[in-house]
Structure 1
Amino acid sequence: MRYVILLTTACLIAATAWAAAPLRPYSGCGVLLAQNAPGPEASPLPFYAEPGLERLAELDLGALPRLSGDREHPVLAVYATKGSWLKLAWDDAGRAGWVEGARAWEYRSWDDYLVGRQVKVLPGLKKNLYALKGAPREASADAGSVSRDQRVRVVQVAEDWVRLERPAGWLRWRDADGRLTVSP
């Protein structure tokens, strides 16, 4: 009986800790800078299984999970593009669908978006993701580290790495699974 109580308690503690840990979003291929302008962009967005085929959901732009910005000017992760169509997540569980790009929106690749921007290093990462490197590769020599929640300016992007202005060095901006390590 004692083991059952201990096991139940351990499961409850583990479930609480697991539920409390925020899931970092996938980076995808770029970001959508959306404007909640009057007109078709302000009405619920239809999400499709494939561009223009099989409607899955209709959601307001402000209700979508965003990387930064507010309800009126969200910055959203774009998972893929096909012509003027963008694949976006519609909930924090990662369910995604295709929406047609709108005129008031701007899609930017991560390379274009990150350069010159100040980003914040996310808390709760593995220790190796705070390490600065001398070159954009894991095997490179350490060149220092950044602290969680530290704001840093991006000077250059090379695949999954960004070169920082201060402190100087290369930092992974997304991990090997494609999840963000920085917040734009």
Structure 2
Amino acid sequence: MILLLSCTVAFAAPPKPRPYSGFGVVVLGRGDLLVLYAEPGVQRVGELSAERIPALAAEGGEVAVAADARKGEWVRLAYDEAGREGWVELKRSWELCSWEEYLPGRSVRLYGGLKRGLYLLSPTPGEGKGSVSLVPGQTVRVAEVAGEWARSERPSGWFRWRDGDRRLTIVPLPPLR
């Protein structure tokens, strides 16, 4: 019996990694077809429906995805959970915005399992930490963003919305704009 239980734990799937933040967010239509390229306009990789790529948030007919890089009218997106990336040409119906534009006014949930320091609120954006701590999984509303720091309305203070590896420490919640 113990052997059976230990095998089940050993074969449990590891948690999927937190997504990279990139430079901003692309808001796509849920039914949009993405034509992926290895480089902008060169070496077509394949096609994928927008609803099948790893989304930061989804609401109604829209899907928000982190954009890793930009070259003219092309953006690079992660198109699967393994982090493989491809370039897509921006469509007029898509909205591309920076994190500074996307996060203010939005509710976010904090990832669990992060280093303790990422949950501490600071009175100003920077490394000086305060004594108030957020709770893993807690939902807060972002009032403003300054670099890698976001100001929470309640409790009031600044926290890191992405870590030093540029991975998100938060999950943006619907509704989308």
TM range (shorter): 0.7 to 0.9
RMSD: 2.1
Which residue, 150, 175, 179 being the options, matches 2:163? 175
Whether contact under 8 Å (1:134, 1:143) holds in the other structure is: no
> Percent identity, aligned pairs only?
46
Please name the residue that 2:27 is paired with.
Answer: 33
Please name the residue that 2:52 is paired with.
Answer: 63
Higher helix share: 1
> What CA distance in whole angstroms lies between the structure 2 residues aligned with 1:52 and 1:90?
17
Q: 1:127 to 1:114 in 2, by over 3 A?
A: same
Matched, 1:159 2:147: yes
- Structure 2 SS opposite 1:142: coil
Structure 1 stretches of 4+ moved >3 Å: 12-17
Matched, 1:100 2:86: no
Query: How do 1:134-153 residues align onto structure 2 when only pairs under 5 Å count?
Result: 134-138=123-127, 140-153=128-141
> What CA distance in whole angstroms lies between the structure 2 residues aligned with 1:47 and 1:89?
10
Matched, 1:128 2:117: yes
Flag structure 2 segments of 5+ consecutive residues without an equivalent: 1-5, 173-177
**TM-score after normalising by structure 2:** 0.86
Whether contact under 8 Å (2:53, 2:78) holds in the other structure is: yes
Flag structure 1 segments of 5+ consecutive residues without an equivalent: 1-9
Which amino acid in the other structure matches residue 141 of structure 2? Answer: R
Whether contact under 8 Å (2:120, 2:134) holds in the other structure is: yes
Please name the residue that 1:5 is paired with.
Answer: none
> What CA distance in whole angstroms lies between the structure 2 residues aligned with 1:57 and 1:129?
38
Please name the residue that 1:115 is paired with.
Answer: 104
Q: 1:13 to 1:126 in 2, by over 3 A?
A: farther
Whether contact under 8 Å (1:114, 1:154) holds in the other structure is: yes
- For the pair shown, which has the larger CA radius of gyration, 1 or 2? 1
- Structure 1 SS opposite 2:91: coil
**Deviation by residue 1:8-44 (Cα, 9 ceiling, x = unmatched):** xx9x688546x3323100000111111146xxxx3x4
> What CA distance in whole angstroms lies between the structure 2 residues aligned with 1:15 and 1:77?
32
**Deviation by residue 1:145-164 (Cα, 9 ceiling, x = unmatched):** 11112111111211111111
**TM-score after normalising by structure 1:** 0.83
Q: Aligned-pair distance for 1:117?
A: 1.3
Q: Aligned pairs, how many?
A: 169
Query: How do 1:32-51 residues align onto structure 2 when only pairs under 5 Å count?
Result: 32-36=26-30, 42=32, 44-51=33-40
**Deviation by residue 1:90-109 (Cα, 9 ceiling, x = unmatched):** 10111001001112210110
Whether contact under 8 Å (1:86, 1:100) holds in the other structure is: yes
Which amino acid in the other structure matches residue 20 of structure 2? Answer: Y
